Amino acid sequence: MSQSSKQTISQGLWQDKVVLITGASAGIGEALSRTFAQQGAKVAVTARRLDRLEALANELTEQGYEALALACDVTQRTSVEACVQKVIDQWGRLDVMVANAGFGVAGPLARLTAEDYQRQFDTNVFGVIHSLKVALPHLKETQGRAIIVGSVNAYVSLAHNSAYAMSKFAVRALAQSLWIEWARYGVAVTLVNPGFVESEIRKVNNQGVYKEDAKDFVPQWLMMPAQKAAQQITKGCFKRKREVIITGHGKVIVFLARLFPKLTFHLLKRAKKT
C-alpha cells in the first residue's frame, strides 16, 4: 500500500464518529483531540479550563473540523452527565469515550494526608468511573469504544509515587474487568499505559493546579511528543486493542515488571525520588 493511500485511510478512520475526550485542555488529551479530528471524528473537548478548550475548538473549526468545547469536572458525576447530554443533543450519538483526565499526587506516605490520596482517587479513579458509567448506554447503542488512560505506573510503583500508582493500578483492574463485562455489549475498552509523554502533568501540584514556572524533571530526550502518542492511541483504539503501551522505555518497564518482578523491584529501589 502506498504512503498516500495509507494516509487517506488514517485521515478517514473516524469519519462521522463522535468522540468525547476528558482532560482535553492540555497534553495527551489535547493531542488526542487534534488527532481524532484530523482522522474524521467530531470531537467534544472537555476539561475544567474552558478558555483553553474554546481556543482549541476554534482552531479545529477553522481547519474545517467539527468540535465542541464543554466545561467538565470529572470528579462530579453531574458535570460529566451534563457534558454527555450536550454531545447527544448536538450530534445524536457517542462512539468513543476517552477517560484521560488525570494528575499526579507525589510524596511519601509519611508526608501525605488521607485527603491527598482521596483527591488523587477522586480524579484518576472516580473520574474514570463517572466518565465510563455515563457513557455506557450511548456506547452500547453505537457498539462503540472506551479508552482508559492509565500509566506504566499501573505496573510499577516507585518511592514517593504511591498515590498516583495506586490510582493507576486501580484503573488497570477496572479495564481488565470491563474487557469481559463490556464484551457482551460489543463495547471495546482500550487501556493506554504511557511512559513519559510531553505534557503539563509534571508541572501540576498535589492540589491539581498547573504551575507554569514549575520544572519538568524528565529530560526532553526521554519524552515522546504528545502528537506521536496520540497517533498510537487512536490506532490501538480503532483496532479495539485491549492494551496499548506508549514509549519504548514504557514497553521495557512493563515487560520487566510482568516477567521479572524481583529484578524490577531491585532496579526500582535504586530509582531516585521523582
Q: Interface with ligand NAP by CB under 6 A: which range of 46-54, 62-70, 108-116, 129-137? A: 46-54
* All residues at 6 or more sequence positions from 31 whose CB lies less than 8 Å from its CB, including other chains: 226, 227, 229, 230
* Residue from 57, 84, 87, 102 in contact with ligand NAP (CB under 6 A): 102
Which candidate, 95, 98, 37, 5, places its Cα nearest to that of 227?
37
What's the closest the beta carbon of residue 12 comes to ligand NAP, in angstroms? 26
Q: Interface with ligand NAP by CB under 6 A: which range of 17-25, 61-69, 179-187, 265-273? A: 17-25
What's the closest the beta carbon of residue 273 comes to ligand NAP, in angstroms? 17
Footprint of ligand NAP on 69-88 (CB under 6 A): 72-75
What's the closest the beta carbon of residue 36 comes to ligand NAP, in angstroms? 15
* Residue from 123, 162, 234, 264 in contact with ligand NAP (CB under 6 A): 123
Q: If binding is defined by CB under 6 A, does position 208 make contact with ligand NAP? A: yes
Element (H, E) at 80: helix 77-91
From 65, 155, 164, 185, active-site residue: 164
Q: In whole angstroms, what is the distance from residue 233 CA to residue 238 CA?
A: 9
Q: If binding is defined by CB under 6 A, does position 161 make contact with ligand NAP? A: no
What's the closest the beta carbon of residue 46 comes to ligand NAP, in angstroms? 7
The amino acid that residue 176 corresponds to is Q
- According to the 3-state scheme, what is the secondary structure of 241-268? CCEEEECHHHHHHHHHHHHCHHHHHHHH
Which candidate, 255, 264, 263, 230, places its Cα nearest to that of 13?
230
Which candidate, 131, 138, 229, places its Cα nearest to that of 171?
131
Q: Interface with ligand NAP by CB under 6 A: which range of 35-43, 68-76, 179-187, 260-268? A: 68-76
The grid coordinates of residue 34 equal 487534534
Is the Cβ of residue 77 or residue 93 nearer to ligand NAP in the bound state?
Answer: 77
**Bridge partners for 43 per DSSP:** 19, 67
Q: Is 210 a catalytic residue?
A: no
The grid coordinates of residue 80 equal 460529566
CA dihedral over 251, 8, 146, 50, signed as positive or negative: positive
* Residue from 204, 230, 237, 257 in contact with ligand NAP (CB under 6 A): 204
Angle, vertex CA 230, rays to CA 131 and CA 190, nearest 5: 45
Q: If binding is defined by CB under 6 A, does position 236 make contact with ligand NAP? A: no
Q: If binding is defined by CB under 6 A, does position 25 make contact with ligand NAP? A: yes
Catalytic residues: 164
Site residues for ligand NAP per CB under 6 A: 22-29, 47-49, 72-75, 100-103, 123, 127, 149, 151, 194, 196-197, 199-201, 204, 208
